[in-house]
Structure 1
Amino acid sequence: MDGECFQPTRWSLVQQAADDDDEISLRAWRELCRLYRPAIEAMAHRLARRYRLDASWADDAGQEILLKLPRIARGAHAKRVQASEQDSERPGGADGFRFRAYVATTIHNALKDALRARGRQVPLVAEHGGGDPDDPVELVEHVAWARCAIRQALDAMKGECERTGRADIWGIFAARIVDPILNGRPQVPYDELVAAHGLASTIRAHSLLQTAKRTYVRHLKETIGMTLSDPRTIDDEIRDLAATLASSSARSAPADRRPIETTTVPDGVMPCP
């Protein structure tokens, strides 16, 4: 199952969005919009709050970026092909490219245009996400992506549990991890979970929680893997995701002061969106 999810990588979807065939491009564009809309909108609104722009600017910028996705895809695909041709053996090579970095660059450009139009100072932003990860604007991009990936993974996990009749797995995971981190609720005691799900013992509840953590990590890896060319880089991406949220929590951005907590789970991280 894990192998199958990496077959149609998101870079192949990007290639389709750049296709000259209008039907193929339109179909890919719709899928890209579905995948990237949450992160695009989140990033636009965070930048708007940080730089004191109206929420209407964020709404308009997000819609504009979505409409530009095919053009962004053509540019990103061309640069990736060029990198592959120049040095296919270079560490990272073409696989070091991330489509979300190109999308983020377009949002950054829209931000700079908006600030210039208002006679305000424009932040320095490296092209295609290759800049300093401690830069405030660069950090916003990574945090937006991390939050989006986590939410997609949680939605996928919950959907799987519903389809397979495993309300116990999702219920225990939600009660012990998701709700306390996302909603600030106290953890439900294990004896209450035993009664709620008709379990034989608290040992069984503990076991199901471990199963739930593994299920979440699988979905997180699948979610992240679909945006990467090389599945071998997934663990590195997850470590970056954890570091990004830890950095964001430490910096406590002025426009969003709620700290972001993290709880380590097997082979991955359970950050708070």
Structure 2
Amino acid sequence: MSRFQTTRWSLIAAAAHETPAHARPALEQLCRAYRPPVLAYIRRSGHAAIDAEDLAQAFFLRFLERGWYTDADPRRGRFRNLLLASLRHFLVDEHAREVAAKRGGGAAHDDADAVQLQADEETPEQAFDRAWLGTVLARAMARLQREWMMAGKQSQFAKLAPLLVERPDRDAVGKVADASGQRGNTVSVQVHRMRKRLRQLVRLELMQTVGDREALEEELQQLRVVLEAGA
């Protein structure tokens, strides 16, 4: 059996034509994990922080209760795409409802913070993708940290972790080496191995949100573009 057939995303897609009870537990895990991108999109769309929290909560409830995942197809879809498309649809509906309420005599809502966000150069889609990438990296890093903790190397991880995200220069490696009483080459090798393992964990994390290997590679490529754009 392909390893992709056992991912949460594939299980969700398979359960889409059966009963929501089969899909909901796995889907709720993904929704909790990837709440930050949803909030980023809503905020960048011009909503104030307190409103964004309420809208995100309402969105996920509707996403689950109305079974918006029932059109999921792991052969051509990624959870990120499904979530983003569903979120756009949700916000359009919410905007229409608010307009209708104002026409009926509701008070207009003016938020200076929201106006500032709308004027920002970053689009809601860019904010969503950036937050998605940040979530993937954070979850992979957390898994890496747990592995080192289980090996009894928490203090060593704390010293090396700052060197993982960006390629460390010689001075940074030298400081860690001096602090830990190791040679610089030894620290460099440790960092190289940790970075390799972190890349593996990123792939494992993304496997939970795609349906097959081709989709995984496409997702990795798109997220590399997001990473380079934010560099």
TM-score (norm. length: structure 2): 0.73
Q: Secondary structure at the match of 2:6?
A: coil
**Residue 102, structure 1, aligned to residue 82, structure 2:** yes
More relative contact order, 1 or 2 (CA 8 Å, 6+ apart): 2
Q: How many residues align?
A: 207
* Distance in 2 separating the partners of 1:19 and 1:244: 33
Partner of 2:9: 11
The one-letter code sitting in structure 2 at the alignment partner of 1:74 is T
Q: Give the one of 129, 132, 135 matched to 1:142.
A: 129
What is the Cα deviation at residue 210 of structure 1? 0.5
Aligned match of 1:59: 53
Q: What CA RMSD, in Å, does the superposition of the two structures yield over aligned residues?
A: 3.3
| Bigger helix fraction | 2
Give 1:18 shift.
Answer: 3.0
* 1:96 partner SS: coil
Q: 1:105 Cα shift?
A: 1.6
Q: Which amino acid aligns with 2:93?
A: D
Residue 171, structure 1, aligned to residue 158, structure 2: yes
Of 142, 148, 151, which aligns to 1:155? 142
The amino acid that maps onto 2:203 is K
Which 5+ residue runs of structure 2 have no aligned equivalent? 103-121
Aligned residue identity for 1:57: D
**Alpha-carbon distance change, 31 to 224 in structure 1, aligned in 2, over 3 angstroms:** same
**2:223 matches 1:244:** no
Residues 10, 229 of structure 1: 8 Å contact kept? no
**Where in structure 1 are there 5+ consecutive unaligned residues?**
81-93, 121-134, 250-260, 262-273
Shift of 1:72: 1.8
Q: 1:210 — aligned with what?
A: 192
Instruction: Return the TM-score normalized by structure 1.
Output: 0.63
Which of 7, 30, 33 pairs up with 2:28? 33
In the TM superposition, residue 100 of structure 1 has moved relative to its aligned partner by 2.6
Secondary structure in 1 matching 2:210: coil
Query: Does structure 2 retain, via aligned residues, the 8 Å contact 1:61–1:107?
Result: no
Aligned to 1:192: 175
2:118 paired residue number: none
Pick which of 166-175 and 219-228 moved more. Answer: 166-175
Task: Give 1:253-264 correspondences, 5 Å limit.
Answer: 261=231
Over 3 Å counting, the alpha-carbon distance change for 1:100 and 1:48 in structure 2 is closer
Q: Which has the larger radius of gyration?
A: 2
Asked if the contact 1:5–1:226 (Cα under 8 Å) also holds between the matched residues in 2, the reply is no
Relative to structure 1, is the Cα distance of residues 160 and 19 closer, same or farther in structure 2, using a 3 angstrom cutoff?
farther
User: Equivalent residue for 1:45?
Assistant: 39
- 1:161: Cα distance to partner? 1.4
Q: State the Cα distance separating 1:117 from its structure 2 match.
A: 4.0
- Find the counterpart in structure 2 of residue 84 from structure 1: none
Note closer, same or farther for the CA distance 1:17–1:145 as it changes in structure 2 (3 Å cut): farther
Q: Percent identity at matched positions?
A: 20
